[in-house]
Chains A and B, each alone.
Chain A
C-alpha cells in the first residue's frame, strides 16, 4: 500500500457505521482508491444493498477526504456484493465472532 493510500485509509477510519459501531475500513467496505492529479476516486460498498445509511456514509466519506484533492468522487457499488469475510479480525471480534 502506498504511503498516501495508507493515509487516506486512516482518514476513512474516521467514518463509522453508526449501527455496528465499526469503521468502514475494518468492515471491508473500501474496494478501491485511485489517485490522479486533481481527482481522488473511492470505490466502496455497503453491508447490504438498500442500506439505510447509504447517504450518511457516502457524504461522510466525501467530507473526510475533501482536503485531499479538488475533486473527490465516491462510487457506492453493490457488485461485487460485500462479504463478511472482508471484515478485519478486529471487526469480527467486535461483532462477537
Chain B
C-alpha cells in the first residue's frame, strides 16, 4: 500500500488555524473593516487572512490530496511540497504583518517569499500533471486554476512594487482589478468547479450522467476570466465588464444544470449534509449572479463603485467560495483522516466507517446556522446597516467556530 502523504494535513490544519484567526480578529470589528476600512491596513489584513490564510491554504491541501486521488500517482516532489508550505506560510505571516503595520519593505520581502511558494506549487503540479498525462476537465481546470493563482501573485507583487517605487501609478487601479479578478474568478472559480466534477459524482454515487457540459463550462469560465482581466487592464468601457459578468453568469447557470444532472443520476440518496448544502449554495449563488448582472446592466456607472465591489466580493468570497470550502471540508477531512489512520487496517480488524468520524446531523445543524447567519449578514451589507452587520457578523463567527471545531474533532477519532 502506498505511503500516505502528510502534506495535505499541513495545509488543511494551517487553513483551519487561518479560519479561526480570521474570525477571532474580525468578530467584533467586522462592520468596521468591511464597511469603512476595506482599502486600508485592517481591510487588507483581514481580506488576505481570509483569502490566503484560510481559503487558499485549505484549497492547496485539497489539491495535494485530490491530485493524488485523481491521477493515482504521487506528486512529483514531496520535498518541493514542504518547501512550498514553508515559503507560502512564512510569506503569508510576514505579508499580513506588513499590511497591518504598513511596513512596505516587510511586505515586499514576504510577498516575494509567498510568490516563491506559489511558483514551487505550480512547478510541482505542472510536472506531476505532465508526467501523468491524464487530461480531463478536472485536471485541466486544476492546472489552469493554478496558472491563474500564479498570475494573481505576480499582479499582487507588481502592485507592491508600484506602491514602493511609484513607477506606474496610473496602472495601479487596473492591476488591482485584474489581481482580484484572477484570484477570485480564476483561481477559486476553476478549482471549485473542477473538483466538483469529481467530488459530487463520488459522494452521490452518480453514474451515466452527461459530461459534455463540463467542457462548455470550462470554456465559458475561462472566457469570463480573460474578458474580466482585459477589461480591467485596458480600462475597458462598462460593456466589457458586463460581458465578463454575463459569461460568468452563463457558465455558472450551466454549471448548476450539470450538478442537477449528477444529482438526477445518483445511486446514493443521502450524500451527506455538506454535499447537500454545497448544492443549495451553488443554486443560491446562481440567482445572486443573475441579480448582479442585472444590476450591472441597470446601473453600469455604479457597477464598480466601492459599495458594489464590496458587496459582490463578500457574496462571492465570504459566500460561495468559503461556504463551498466549508461544505467540502466535511467530506475531505474525514476522508483524509480515515485513510491516514485506518486505511492500512481495513479488512484486518473492526474499524469505524468514514461516517462514524463526523456526525452528519451536527454538520447539518451547524452548517444551517452558519449559512443562515452569513445570509442575514449579507442583508446588512445590502442595506448598509452597520448594526445588522455587527450582530449577524458575530453570530456568523460564533457559528463558524462551532462548525470548524466539529470538523477539527475528526482528528481525535
Contacts and interface: CB of A to CB of B under 8 A. Distances in A.
Contact of A56 (B70, B71, B343): B343
Interface in B179-214: 198, 201-203, 205, 207
Contact of A83 (B202, B207, B344, B355): B207
Chain A facing B: main interface SS: loop
B338 A18 contact: yes
Interface stretch (B11-19, B287-295, B345-353): B345-353
Given A19-B335, A52-B69, A47 B347 contact: no
A86 to B, nearest CB: 11
Contacts of B267: 84, 87, 92, 95, 97
B264 interface: no
A56 B335 CA distance: 12
A63 B343 contact: no
A52 B339 contact: yes
A20 B268 contact: yes
A41 interface: no
Contacts of B344: 56, 59
B270 interface: yes
Interface string B305-325: 000000000000000000000
Contacts of B335: 19, 52
Interface residues of B, number: 29
Interface string A34-72: 000000000000011011111111111101100000000
A96 interface: yes
A92 B353 CA distance: 18
A63 B345 CA distance: 9
A75 interface: no
B348 A63 contact: yes
Given A14-B347, A64-B347, A48 B353 contact: no
Interface residues of A, number: 31
Nearest to B70: A50
Interface of A: 14-16, 18-21, 47-48, 50-61, 63-64, 82-84, 87, 92, 95-97
Nearest to A59: B1
Contacts of A53: 339
Contact of B1 (A18, A56, A64): A56
B269 to A, nearest CB: 3
B343 A96 contact: no
Given A61-B347, A84-B267, A55 B205 contact: no
Residue of B72, B202, B347 ringed by the most chain A CB atoms within 10 A: B347
B339 A56 contact: yes
Nearest to B134: A50
Residue of A47, A55, A57 ringed by the most chain B CB atoms within 10 A: A55
B383 interface: no
Residue of A51, A54, A82, A84 ringed by the most chain B CB atoms within 10 A: A84
Contacts of A50: 69-72, 198
B76 interface: no
B347 A15 contact: yes
Interface string B1-37: 1100000000000000000000000000000000000
A59 to B, nearest CB: 4
A84 B354 CA distance: 21
